[in-house]
A = this chain, B = another copy of it.
Amino acid sequence: MRLSRYFLPVLKETPAEAQIVSHRLMLRAGMIKQMSAGIYAWLPLGFKMLRKIENIVHEEQIRAGHIPVLMPTLQSAELWRESGRYDGYGEEMLRMQDRHGRDMLFSPTAEEMFTDTFRSYVKSYKDLPLTIYQIQWKFRDEIRPRFGVMRGREFLMKDGYNFDLTKEDALHAYNRHLVSYLRTYERMGLQAIPMRAESGPIGGDNTHEFLVLAETGESGVFYDSEITDLKFGDREVDYDNVEQCQGVLEEFTSRYARTDDTHDQAAFEAQVPEERRREARGIEVGQIFYFGTKYSEPMGATVTDAEGNKVPVHMGSHGIGVSRLLGALIEANHDENGIIWPEGVTPFHVGIVNLKQGDAAADGACEDLYKALTAKGLEPLYDDRNERAGGKFATMDLIGLPWRITVGPRGLKNGVVELTSRRTGESEELTPELAVARVAEIYAGH
């Protein structure tokens, strides 16, 4: 993309309303625009990132054997009356009537719609196990939306639902989700720690939240410091292998890690030696639940088992806050000049800064770099505007591309351009060909 043809409305001033760094930087980098309280437009850079995160979540869910569908945002109130949640859900549910006076609502979560879909088609245990999921916009009418996309009212969420014959099978689905979530977050360069949580309005006994450590997190967290040494890494997991998935769960959840909702100081002190006890703050980026037959019983989602009996299926639901992940990524990856995207998830792979637009040698070298990078399957953002170098550097730092190639007449006389890491600030001079090869090599693993 050439910046002169892009729409990247960066702001010089820090917006007064933004209290946390991710909100400030998303506004300043021209990623989002508030349209009303807690409701955002996703500008080109923000939309591009949202789509990248969405695609990673899709890829990891599909890898785990889960099947994507898409439910409508609006639904009739009937299903929620059937499950018994309509009256109790409270003011966070946005309710409305259509032109015929029928009660409708904007989906805050979708247990009812998925259970209804399941019961409409699946009748036999032979069609189990089944996990279907969606990535769709939800609405929760927060009384005080804040922190930008971290606690917005309209937000993009991945929500998946497993349907299993037995509790045992459903717990394997639970573990499978835990594994796929660990992979998903790590691929984005995030460490998200599974912590024992409370179930709230979804229901159920088994539930873990995934928290990214960040000073601005809304939750207090208490954990054993050994946990942050755990890495999922590039291990191969067979998602059908019950023991293997159970093993990952045990490895990642056996140490003490709880949010303030479930924290037990006595247990913390009993289980964790003092030097390993940590208190910090965290951002919730996902949650998994096993809730058994809470929805399948009242809604009649049953299958015939091998003995011919009709039994309600065992279910769980599993969510990742997709739009919120953008905020969490920035909270975890920034400095005083702006965002620093991890290589695993960046809007563009590399920025090209032309120090002297209009200089034939510099323009030509930039065009050549642009073509060579594109030919390698990389997506560069070329700042071809007629602006001063300082402004160009500031924009690149603000929007946080991990790598920048700087091209100027002086360097070109010596046959070199400059390759700079956004994270370390370190630069090296290279021929343009080597710079392209180097960037391609960096991204080869991503």
Q: Give the interface of A toward B (CB within 8 A).
A: 5-7, 9, 30, 33, 35-36, 39-44, 46-48, 50, 65, 67-76, 78, 91-92, 94-96, 98-99, 102, 104, 106, 113, 116-117, 120-122, 130, 132, 134, 137, 139, 141, 143, 153-154
Tell me if A99 and B106 are in contact (CB < 8 A): no
Tell me if A95 and B98 are in contact (CB < 8 A): no
Tell me if A132 and B44 are in contact (CB < 8 A): yes
Tell me if A70 and B91 are in contact (CB < 8 A): no
Contacts of A137 in B (CB 8 A): 72-73, 137
Docked Cα-Cα span, A69 to B116, in Å, equals 33
Contacting residue for A69 out of B42, B98, B122, CB 8 A: B42
Contacting residue for A47 out of B69, B95, B153, CB 8 A: B69
Tell me if A72 and B154 are in contact (CB < 8 A): yes
Contacts of A78 in B (CB 8 A): 36
Contacting residue for A76 out of B36, B40, B92, B96, CB 8 A: B36
CB distance from A6 to the nearest CB of B (A): 7
Tell me if A41 and B72 are in contact (CB < 8 A): yes
14 contacts between A and B (CB under 8 A): A6-B67, A7-B67, A7-B121, A9-B121, A33-B120, A35-B113, A36-B74, A39-B76, A41-B71, A42-B69, A43-B117, A74-B106, A74-B139, A98-B153
Contacts of A94 in B (CB 8 A): 74, 96, 98
Contacting residue for A117 out of B41, B99, B122, B130, CB 8 A: B41
Docked Cα-Cα span, A59 to B41, in Å, equals 21
Tell me if B6 and A73 are in contact (CB < 8 A): no
Tell me if A42 and B67 are in contact (CB < 8 A): no
Given contacts A42-B69, A50-B70, A74-B106, 19 further A-B contacts (CB under 8 A): A5-B65, A6-B67, A9-B122, A33-B117, A35-B75, A36-B74, A36-B102, A36-B104, A39-B76, A40-B72, A42-B70, A43-B69, A44-B132, A47-B68, A48-B68, A72-B137, A73-B73, A74-B153, A98-B153
CB distance from A46 to the nearest CB of B (A): 8
Contacts of A5 in B (CB 8 A): 65
Contacts of A6 in B (CB 8 A): 67
Contacting residue for A35 out of B7, B68, B71, CB 8 A: B71
Docked Cα-Cα span, A239 to B149, in Å, equals 35
Contacts of A48 in B (CB 8 A): 68
- Given A9-B121, A41-B72, residue A99 in contact with residue B91 (CB < 8 A): yes
Give the nearest-CB partner of A71 in chain B: B41
Docked Cα-Cα span, A117 to B92, in Å, equals 27
Contacting residue for A141 out of B7, B43, B98, B113, CB 8 A: B98
Contacts of A71 in B (CB 8 A): 35, 41-42
- Given A7-B132, A98-B94, A141-B98, residue A75 in contact with residue B33 (CB < 8 A): no
Give the nearest-CB partner of A137 in chain B: B73
Q: Which 3 A-B pairs have the closest CB atoms?
A: A9-B121, A96-B96, A42-B70
Tell me if B99 and A35 are in contact (CB < 8 A): no
CB distance from A49 to the nearest CB of B (A): 11
Tell me if B99 and A96 are in contact (CB < 8 A): no
Tell me if A68 and B44 are in contact (CB < 8 A): yes
CB distance from A246 to the nearest CB of B (A): 21
Docked Cα-Cα span, A44 to B67, in Å, equals 7
Give the nearest-CB partner of A97 in chain B: B96
Contacts of A43 in B (CB 8 A): 69, 117
Contacting residue for A95 out of B33, B92, B96, B113, CB 8 A: B96
Docked Cα-Cα span, A69 to B43, in Å, equals 5
Tell me if A70 and B47 are in contact (CB < 8 A): yes
Give the nearest-CB partner of A36 in chain B: B76
Tell me if B130 and A7 are in contact (CB < 8 A): yes
Contacts of A74 in B (CB 8 A): 36, 39, 94, 106, 139, 153-154
CB distance from A87 to the nearest CB of B (A): 16
Contacts of A69 in B (CB 8 A): 7, 41-44, 46-47
CB distance from A33 to the nearest CB of B (A): 6
CB distance from A101 to the nearest CB of B (A): 11
